[in-house]
Amino acid sequence: MVKRTLISAGLMLFRRVNDQLEIFLAHPGGPFWVNRDDGAWTIPKGVVNPGEELLAAACREFQEETSITPQGPFLPLGSIRQRAGKTVHAWAWEGDADPTSIKSNLMQAEWPRGSDRWLTFPEVDRCAWFDADRARAKINSAQAELIDRLEAALN
């Protein structure tokens, strides 16, 4: 059995368009996520390697999943705990990106579970910009708190 890590780090890219906050979110790739939308999107994030600093891991994961190089300064958003027990440490940064040009790293997963059939697919199949309210509907419910924290920090 594969041991799952319970610590991740990620970045929330944001921009302001006509005084409206927009959040850049990633949709997970693979067969499990293909027909899921509301509640399935996420900030680009991933596993923190042993000895790796949390912010360094967040930047690495963002670049691996989107092919976009993050540019600070980075605003700490703290951490949240997702329903399955994973803790996600997050930072925000202001910038812009073309969601149609992302290129994600590939991953392998057994599908269906227990089948001994391994598929290779992009870790992120698409990204998009959402206003803050729509982002709250799209994002993993525990990560919605990160949007609240970003709004509070910007106000």
Q: What is the pLDDT of residues 128-150, one digit of tens each?
A: 999 999 999 999 999 999 999 99
pLDDT at 111: 86
Mean pLDDT computed over 27-32: 92
pTM strictly above 0.75: yes
CA dihedral 52, 97, 88, 105 (to 10 degrees): -60
Closest CA to 90 of 27, 35, 39, 48: 48
Mean pLDDT computed over 83-109: 95
pLDDT at 122: 94
Q: 92, 75 in Cβ contact below 8 A?
A: yes
pLDDT at 2: 46
Query: Quick one: pLDDT band at residue 1, thresholds 50, 70, 90?
Result: very low
pLDDT at 113: 86
Which of these CATH numbers, 3.40.1180.10, 3.40.50.740, 3.90.79.10, 3.30.465.10, describes 7-154? 3.90.79.10
Is the pLDDT score of 4 beyond 80? no
User: What percentage of the chain reaches a pLDDT higher than 70?
Assistant: 97
